[in-house]
């Protein structure tokens, strides 16, 4: 397998299946200063074609989807006050069940879903764990990254078509995230007949999409 760029590190996801009509979901975390790239993918769609969506924040009104915290957010609480009005990737006001990812003070990422929106404040479904296991310390620094990736129906994603009854394999540099230092959320439709994700390998690389 050739990787035509310097690789800082890898993200790997192993075998994952779900009952039919339950999406197969994986969070793929970035690192600062590098772009996520898909370099290995293997999936069996069984008897129905499935679509794999590598979702990301941005799109119409991208500053609301690719957002930041205007003030610090504490662990053990659910609220994140955003710099810009929270939007989904389609440019609509963010709403309950939208996928959200935010960068913690140590550079790692935490994932949740939106419970509700009030002005610029996002209330998450779960308490923020942060770097101190919810003990009440600073979890997200002021101007820390807050990404609203929405839902698959927002249609902002890079897609892989997985043919029915065939193992779909991608080997080598296949997709590159459009924004360095930002995450992907992989969601596979898994409709009608259960599919099987054998593996995903992503790399953090020193090249950006153009």
Per-residue pLDDT of 135-156, as tens digits, reads 999 999 999 999 999 999 998 9
Strands, E, within 66-144: which ranges? 66-68, 73-74, 79-81, 99-103, 109-118, 121-124, 138-140
Same domain (yes/no): 20, 48: yes
The pLDDT of residue 164 is 98
Q: Please check whether residue 2 lies inside any domain of the structure.
A: no
For residue 208, what pLDDT band results from cuts at 50, 70 and 90?
A: confident
First to last CA, the chain: 23
Backbone angles phi, psi at 153, to 5 degrees: -65, -15
The pLDDT of residue 210 is 67
Q: Please check whether residue 1 lies inside any domain of the structure.
A: no
Same domain (yes/no): 76, 134: yes
Q: What is the pLDDT of residues 153-196, one digit of tens each?
A: 998 999 999 999 999 999 999 999 999 999 999 999 999 999 99
Average pLDDT of the chain to the nearest whole number: 96
Domain that holds residue 72: 62-150
User: Tokens 């101007």 label which residue?
Assistant: 143
* Residues 142, 93: Cα–Cα separation, whole Å: 22
Q: Rounded to 5, what percent of the chain is helix, strand, coil? A: 5, 50, 50
**Hey, what's the torsion of the CAs at 32, 33, 39, 40, to 10 degrees?**
-10
Same domain (yes/no): 82, 112: yes
Q: Does residue 198 surpass a pLDDT of 70?
A: yes
Distances (CA, A) of 50 to 24, 70, 119, 171: 11, 39, 37, 19
Q: Does residue 29 surpass a pLDDT of 70?
A: yes
Same domain (yes/no): 91, 145: yes
The pLDDT of residue 143 is 98
Q: Does residue 3 surpass a pLDDT of 80?
A: no
CATH value at residue 40 = 2.60.120.260
For residue 209, what pLDDT band results from cuts at 50, 70 and 90?
A: confident
Same domain (yes/no): 145, 66: yes
* Residues 83, 144: Cα–Cα separation, whole Å: 10
Q: Does residue 5 surpass a pLDDT of 70?
A: no
Q: Does residue 60 surpass a pLDDT of 90?
A: no
Share of the chain above pLDDT 70, in %: 97
Domain count, the chain: 2
Q: Does residue 61 surpass a pLDDT of 90?
A: no
Domain boundary (109, 130, 150) is at 150
Domain boundary (129, 150, 171) is at 150
Same domain (yes/no): 132, 175: no
The pLDDT of residue 2 is 58
Q: What is the pLDDT of residues 89-131, one digit of tens each?
A: 999 999 999 999 999 999 999 999 999 999 999 999 999 999 9
Q: Does residue 26 surpass a pLDDT of 60?
A: yes
For residue 69, what pLDDT band results from cuts at 50, 70 and 90?
A: very high
């Amino acid at each position: 397998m050739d990787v035509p760029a310097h690789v800082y590190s890898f993200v790997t996801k192993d075998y994952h299946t779900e009952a039919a009509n339950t999406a197969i979901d994986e969070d793929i975390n970035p690192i600062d200063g590098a772009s996520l790239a898909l370099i290995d993918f293997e999936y069996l769609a069984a008897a129905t074609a499935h679509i794999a969506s590598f979702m990301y924040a941005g799109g119409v009104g991208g500053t609301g989807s690719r957002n930041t915290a205007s003030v610090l957010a504490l662990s053990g609480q659910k609220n994140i006050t955003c710099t810009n009005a929270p939007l989904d990737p389609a440019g609509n006001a963010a709403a309950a069940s939208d996928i959200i990812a935010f960068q913690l003070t140590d550079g790692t990422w935490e994932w949740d879903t939106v419970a509700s929106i009030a002005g610029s404040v996002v209330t998450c479904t779960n308490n923020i764990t942060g770097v101190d296991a919810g003990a009440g310390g600073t979890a997200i620094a002021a101007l820390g990254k807050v990404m609203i990736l929405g839902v698959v129906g927002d249609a902002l994603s890079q897609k892989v078509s997985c043919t029915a009854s065939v193992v779909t394999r991608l080997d080598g540099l296949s997709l590159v995230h459009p924004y360095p230092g930002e995450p992907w959320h992989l969601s596979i439709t898994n409709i009608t007949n259960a599919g099987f994700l054998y593996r995903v390998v992503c790399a953090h690389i020193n090249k950006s999409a153009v």
